[in-house]
Amino acid sequence: MRVGLIGAGSISETHARAAHAIPGVEIAAVYGGNRERAERLAAACGAAACSDLPAFLEQPMDLVIIGSPSGLHAEQGIAAAARGLHVLVEKPIDIATARADALIAAARSAGVKLGVLFQDRGQPSFARLRDALARGRFGRPLLASARVKWFRPPEYYRGSKWRGTWTLDGGGALMNQGIHTVDLLRWLLGPVRRLSARTATLRHEIEVEDTVTAWLEFESGALATLEATTAAYPGYPRRVELTAEDGTFVLEHDRVVAADTRQPCDDLAIAGDADGNASASSPIVSDGRSHQRLIEDFIGAIREDRDPLCTGIEGRSSVAIAEAAYESSRSGRIVEVRE
């Protein structure tokens, strides 16, 4: 399976490590806006370095993994799909649902697979919890609280041409960092009916928000609160507390750390499932195993002609929720979510 990487930043380096660890996968080409970084990553992978997207898309490949700035995802994915290449996109699928819709339609028209890298869906303990909730093992989900109290220093934004901008980042603590947790809540609890949110830029000199709070009502009737920030020094692990009728679960970073239920459920609380990623205080993904799981799944979806763990349509939902949150913050009103 020949893979092309679009993007040459830190997340594409993670994609390269994860893909390289999969038997039978070859990284064929790398394209990035920063030519020097693209050449360096290509050399490390033994791949061709391409200076422009059309030349990159002419390389012999089966699929592309897109790790470029978020606001370029749909445009680049559409170009790849037009060449008959399967498309796996780093989160978010893009920064607007209209662009996501265009990419989804292009992949469908071209007959190629489209997936989104929300690696929480590949975490074994999260998957077991979702399966248990879907089967009603612990009754109806009632309430969740999610906290993404991370820290990014000023140079994280100053050293980038796209981070913290509306044009290419599409938002801040919600669209970039908090979007993983938005997807996790949506994946565990189902569609969001409506929400109320407030965003603010409290610490960083950026166009977008560095802090957001939100209240969400799900179609199931469950309620949730979400806090996300990049201003909480020194940064703390992401934490989600989820209560169902017959138990409460605590998710910290990338694992279930506690399950207090009426009936024993030792299969859900797993202490040794963490990947060691210090994402609370650093954008660098130090362990690529969760990305590797999703890339392996996507390759399986191609070979078996099935849906990947996160389809384009599912990846669109978190962007719809973020759009509604920004609209709510601007208007001061409760907003219906158009998933």
Q: pLDDT tens for residues 148-169? A: 999 999 999 999 999 999 999 9
With respect to residue 102, please indicate whether it lies within any of the assigned structural domains. Answer: yes
Q: What is the domain range of residue 241?
A: 120-283+311-336
Asked if 265 and 190 sit in the same domain, the reply is: yes
Q: Is the dihedral of CA 279, 285, 287, 288 positive or negative?
A: positive
What tokens were used for 144? 């969740």
Bridge partner list, 2: 26
With respect to residue 324, please indicate whether it lies within any of the assigned structural domains. Answer: yes
Q: pLDDT tens for residues 108-137? A: 999 999 999 999 999 999 999 999 999 999
Q: pLDDT tens for residues 226-245? A: 999 999 999 999 999 999 99
Task: Supply the pLDDT for residue 273.
Answer: 46
Of 94, 119, 144, the residue at which a domain comes to its end is 119
Q: pLDDT tens for residues 72-118? A: 999 999 999 999 999 999 999 999 999 999 999 999 999 999 999 99
How many domains does the chain contain in total? 2
Per-residue pLDDT band for 278 (boundaries 50, 70, 90) equals: low
pTM assigned to the model: 0.95
Per-residue pLDDT band for 13 (boundaries 50, 70, 90) equals: very high
What CATH number did the domain enclosing 160 receive? 3.30.360.10
Tokens 């999703």, residue located: 294
Lowest mean pLDDT among 29-38, 102-111, 260-269: 260-269
Of 119, 150, 175, the residue at which a domain comes to its end is 119
What CATH number did the domain enclosing 114 receive? 3.40.50.720
Of 83, 103, 119, the residue at which a domain comes to its end is 119
